[in-house]
Amino acid sequence: MKLLLKIWRQKDGSSKGKLVDYPIDHIEGDMSFLEMLDVLNQELIEKGDEPVVFDHDCREGICGTCSLMINGEPHGPDRLITTCQLHMRRFNDGDTIVIEPFRATAFPVLKDLMVDRSAFDRIQQAGGYISVNTSGNTVDANAIPIDKHHADESFEAASCIGCGACVAACKNASAMLFTAAKVSQFALLPQGKVEAIDRVQNMVRQMDLEGFGNCTNTGACEVECPKGISLENIARMNREYLMATVKG
């Protein structure tokens, strides 16, 4: 395939960025999207130009670092996949592909397509843990009876990889789905009850401090989430927050 890539180039967070055109040829349909970018960067290096900076790690759809806005969609046109799992067969010969970083005040651009998503880390640190007795009298977690339905829902919430697609998809750049998933994975289990009140209050407070917007209730976050995290988690977090406010 022969393609025209329009890629966001930005020297650093304080510099003005712009879309730059990059024609590219000999792209095979079996290539992943990141492999296509690797081909482009190799060509740029051979010409003495600066390669395009983009974030990636596992390339197996697990880590979420490969987050890109592709033709206006987080992770591109497919559903339930990350950018590294997107293949070039989803595009046609002669297509123009616009590639941008995730846009959110809380995700400042570091360079080109790479953004700083450490805001998610700080939300997680604010309450994403449980108390564990390490005195030598610990109880095996498997010894605690847990309803199968609750266990399944907790695992589903815990499958969130923190890629930020929910934020990028939301017109208010809300992090409600991410925060709700991290609250839910503990709220559904008995091990998470000890810090339940502090957890939801601290995580929501940190989310607001980071500058994320309010939930729009449009459901775009669930649609674009590569792991299919359900909006039910937001409803659960709202209930947890209301109860914490009453009890606190």
pLDDT at 181: 98
Residue 12 has pLDDT above 90, yes or no: yes
122-168 residue pLDDT tens: 999 999 988 876 666 766 767 888 999 999 999 999 999 999 999 99
Is residue 183 packed enough to be buried (19+ CB in 10 Å), middle (13-18) or exposed (0-12)? Answer: buried
15-51 residue pLDDT tens: 999 999 999 999 999 999 999 999 999 999 999 999 9
pLDDT at 233: 98
pLDDT at 134: 63
SS3 of 110, please?
strand
pLDDT at 143: 80
Residue extents of the structural domains in the chain: 3-111, 118-247
Are the C-beta atoms of 175 and 166 separated by less than 8 Å?
A: yes
Q: Are strands 3-9 and 96-100 parallel, antiparallel or unpaired?
A: parallel
- Report the distance separating Cα 72 and Cα 145, nearest Å: 45
Buried b (16+ CB within 10 A) or exposed e, 41-58: beeeeeeeeeebbbbbee
Residue with tokens 């005040």: 105
Domain spanning 3-111, CATH architecture: Roll (3.10)
Confidence (pTM): 0.94
166-216 residue pLDDT tens: 999 999 999 999 999 999 999 999 989 989 999 999 999 999 999 999 999
- Report the distance separating Cα 93 and Cα 18, nearest Å: 25
Q: Chain-centre distance of CA 174, in angstroms?
A: 12
Confidence band, pLDDT 50/70/90 cuts, at residue 84: very high
What is the secondary structure of 157-185 as a DSSP string?
A: HHT-----HHHHHSTT-B-HHHHHHHHHH
pLDDT at 138: 67
118-247: what fold? Answer: Fumarate Reductase Iron-sulfur Protein; Chain B, domain 2 (1.10.1060)
Residue 237 has pLDDT above 70, yes or no: yes
Mean pLDDT of the region 212-235: 97
Mean pLDDT of the region 96-120: 98
Write out the H or E segment, with its range, that includes residue 201.
helix 196-209
